[in-house]
Structure formats: structure tokens, C-alpha cells
Chain A
Amino acid sequence: MNLAGLDPVVHAPKRLAAMAILNASEWVEFAFLRLQLGLSDSDLSKQMSALLEAGYIRVQKRGSGRGRSTWYRITRGGRRAFESHVATLNALVAQAGTVPEREAEGTEGGLAAPAAARPTR
């Protein structure tokens, strides 16, 4: 089993959840991420800083004064790292024979395991 696709930066549960949201979005506001992930301001800032440092996201401040908000966008490198991480997780699950049932509808950018990674039963 090749675990090279597992990215240590993305692997942390809070960052993986944030990357899942960022990967499905063009731009995401700080407050939206905080609400969806149930994190405190400082915790989310810490997680975002780690992703920023890795070059997986970029940040933009919009507005001024009290209306100022912070928006994040996933970079191409971040998207590659996230997709590779998810593909490796899929392969791990397939190898263990515990493919999660896809309760949701099929997707284009979803999490379906690549054909080669699907278990043969």
C-alpha cells in the first residue's frame, strides 16, 4: 500500500474538514468556516495558518472597518494535495474491504474511489 498520498498537513481532522469545504468552494469566509467546523476563532486561525504556510490556500481581506471580512480560496497545489489525500484514503478503505456506502448521489468531484482502487468482490 502506497501511503505517499497521505499529506501530513491535510491529515489533521480539522484541516481535512476545512479543506473539504474549501475544495467545494470558490471562496469561503472565515465566519462560515468557523460555524461549519464548530471551532473557536483562535483554533480556526491556527488551522488556516498551517494551510497558508503549506501554500494550500490563499487569503483575501475584503471591505473595511466593521464590515471587513476574511475570505479563503484553495490553491491548485492545495487541491492536488487534498485530492491525492482523499484518493489514498479511498484506496485504504478499498483494501480493507470497508468501502463507505455512498448514501449521497453520485458526484463529479465527489469521493468515489478510482476504479483501480475499488475492491473486487
Chain B
Amino acid sequence: MESNSQPSPAAQQLRDVERHRLQVYASGTTPTWAWPTFGVLLFVLLSSYEIPGTWARIVFPMLYALSVGVWVGLVAKHAGVQPRLRGMPRGLQREIYAFWVVGAVAAALLVALGLTVSFVLAGVLGGLLIAVGGSWYDRRYRRLASRLALAASPS
């Protein structure tokens, strides 16, 4: 078969499609306030478990869920795009799954700390962890996405 150093129009179109697809993951930016704000929300939620009375068990989780919804909406509005998890490059999917697993383990440890020591302390630690860890994870994710997008760009 003839070897062709110039990509055919169809091959070029496929490359462009791949490049644009990866832009979705590499170009959306998370605002700097996002993770610290999430940290504050987590602190409020965990600390609220020190408040006596059943009303706090109902009101604060509801407020937390509502605030997280607003948080997601504002972050998406700032980014201008909501990437789809299905169809995401495997390397990025792994990053997200790893973040969820680490998050679940950290949440379990924070609850254990709250039950055994203090929920205020768990709130402070959790808030700091999400503020710092979230921002760190976000940078790591963007770096990986940019690397993938760069690899798919025409040289």
C-alpha cells in the first residue's frame, strides 16, 4: 500500500475532531475561590454535628446539599462548559475516579474523627483538606488534560 506523509482530508478532519474534543477538558477553568468555598461548606456541615438538637441534623445537611448545587452551577458557569464523564480520555477518567476514592476514604476518616474526638476539629481538617487538596487536584487534572490536547494538536 502506498505510504502517504500528508494526511488525507478525512484523517485531517478526524485529528481536528479529536483536538476539539480534548479542548473541552483542557480549556474549562475552575475559579480560584471554588475549592476554598467548598472547604468552608464542608467545615460548616461537619461542625454543625456539635450543635445539639435534631433540627440541626436536618437543616444543615439540606443547606449543604443546596449550597453544593449552587456551587456546581457557579463553577460550570465560570468554566463555560460541563464536560461529559462518558467519552472522557481514560487518563482523565482515572484521575476523577481516584479523586472520588480518596475523597470517600477521607470522608470516612473525618466522620470517625468527629465521632471519637470532635466534629469541629473534623470540620477544620476537612475544610483545609478540600481547599488545598481540591486546588492541587484541579491543577493536576488541567495539566494532564492540556498534555493530551497538546499531543493531539498539529505540530
Interface string of A18-32 (1 = CB under 8 A from B): 001101111111011
Inside 8 A of A20's CB, which chain B residues have their CB? 16-18, 20-21
Interface string of A75-117 (1 = CB under 8 A from B): 0000000000010011011001111100111111111000000
Inside 8 A of B93's CB, which chain A residues have their CB? 108
Interface segment, one of B37-45, B52-60, B75-83, B97-105: B75-83
Decide if B18 touches A26 in the complex (CB within 8 Å): no
- Total of A-B residue pairs, C-beta within 8 Å: 127
**Is A50 engaged at the interface, CB distance under 8 Å to the other chain?**
no
User: Could you tell me the dominant secondary structure of chain B's interface residues?
Assistant: helix
Q: How far is the CB of B62 from chain A (nearest CB, A)?
A: 24
B12 and chain A: residue at smallest CB distance? A100
Interface size on B, residues (CB 8 A): 39
Decide if A89 touches B23 in the complex (CB within 8 Å): no
Inside 8 A of B66's CB, which chain A residues have their CB? none
B22 and chain A: residue at smallest CB distance? A104
Decide if B83 touches A24 in the complex (CB within 8 Å): yes
Q: How far is the CB of B141 from chain A (nearest CB, A)?
A: 14
**Is A69 engaged at the interface, CB distance under 8 Å to the other chain?**
yes
Inside 8 A of B90's CB, which chain A residues have their CB? 105-108
**Is B10 engaged at the interface, CB distance under 8 Å to the other chain?**
yes
Give the 6 A-B CB pairs with smallest separation, nearest first.
Answer: A109-B87, A32-B80, A20-B20, A26-B82, A29-B80, A24-B24
Question: Known contacts A26-B84, A29-B80, A110-B89; can you find 11 more A-B pairs with CB under 8 A?
Answer: A20-B21, A21-B21, A24-B84, A25-B83, A35-B80, A97-B1, A103-B152, A104-B18, A104-B148, A105-B148, A111-B14
Which residues of B come within 8 Å of A, CB atoms?
Answer: 1-2, 4, 7-8, 10-11, 13-18, 20-25, 27-28, 76-77, 79-84, 86-91, 93, 148, 151-152
